[in-house]
Amino acid sequence: MPDKDAGTPRVFLYRHGQTEWSQTGQYTGISEIELTPHGVKQVVASGKMLVGEGKLIDPTKLARVFVSPRNRAEHTFQLAFSDADKQALTDANKVERTERLAEWGYGLYEGLLTKEIRALRKDHGLDTDRAWDIWTDGCEDGESPQDVTARIDSLIEEIRAIHQGNMHGENPCDVALIAHGHTLRAFTKRWLGYPMEFPLSMMLEPGAVGVLSYQHHSIDEPAFLVGYGFPLEE
């Protein structure tokens, strides 16, 4: 964080590690697909580098850790944080498993590839003038963009209440979200005040961490950190 923004609360977006379906591009919502061995290595590597006292995600500075209820997110939390840090956070009632961070409900599209979804929708007489876009069209028998917006906005409201009054580091109040690719990108859009259909292209690799915060220590100026400068070692 630049010096002028030091102490401003942050939200860390921690995507779960690779699964067989994330590797193949299959849409994974409610299905409990476990991390691959490579996915485990991804999370262990990012956790070792980024999670711990004095590191980017410092457990002593966390006010809350919100975890998706899917196994792959829970496994990521277990791998990324040390046993001592997990115990301390749990004892302080700072860890919450919440459906608000579950992956987008894909409905009929669960387990399918994008090309298969578009073919299915064509068979259903949909998208006659343009290709399917989840951010605009949602999922048949699954969640609409409005459904996802409602649950994410509820979580953002709770996080902003935690941050309010702590914009200059008055109390440690960083927040970590451990969840999924679509959900975390949807969260970013809503954090910045954009509707789901806003064409904001984002990438977040399995096991990777993104950072959201605020400009000018202002709760009314949510922002994302395009790049993060790490402090020099003494």
pLDDT at 1: 45
Domain 3-224: which CATH number of 3.40.50.2000, 3.40.50.80, 3.40.50.1240, 3.10.310.30: 3.40.50.1240
Distance CA 106, CA 98 (A): 18
Burial class (CB in 10 A: 0-12, 13-18, 19+), 13: buried
Place of tokens 């969840």: 179
Distance CA 109, CA 29 (A): 9
Domain ranges of the chain: 3-224
According to the annotation, is 132 in a ligand binding site?
Answer: no
pLDDT at 3: 54
Give, in order, the Cα–Cα distances in Å from 206 to each of 14, 83, 86, 150. Answer: 9, 22, 21, 25
pLDDT at 4: 58
According to the annotation, is 210 in a ligand binding site?
Answer: no
β-strand pairing of 209-214 with 222-224: antiparallel
According to the annotation, is 28 in a ligand binding site?
Answer: yes
According to the annotation, is 105 in a ligand binding site?
Answer: yes
On the CB side of 131, CA atoms within 13 Å amount to 5
Tell me phi and psi for residue 225, to 5 degrees: -90, 110
β-sheet with 11-15: strand ranges across: 95-97, 62-67, 174-179, 11-15, 209-214, 222-224
User: Active-site residues: which are they?
Assistant: 16, 103
According to the annotation, is 29 in a ligand binding site?
Answer: yes
Closest CA to 68 of 102, 111, 93, 30: 102
pLDDT at 70: 98
Q: What residues of the chain score a pLDDT lower than 50?
A: 1-2
Model pTM score: 0.94
According to the annotation, is 17 in a ligand binding site?
Answer: no
Are 32 and 70 a contacting pair, CB within 8 Å? Answer: yes
Residue type, 194: Y
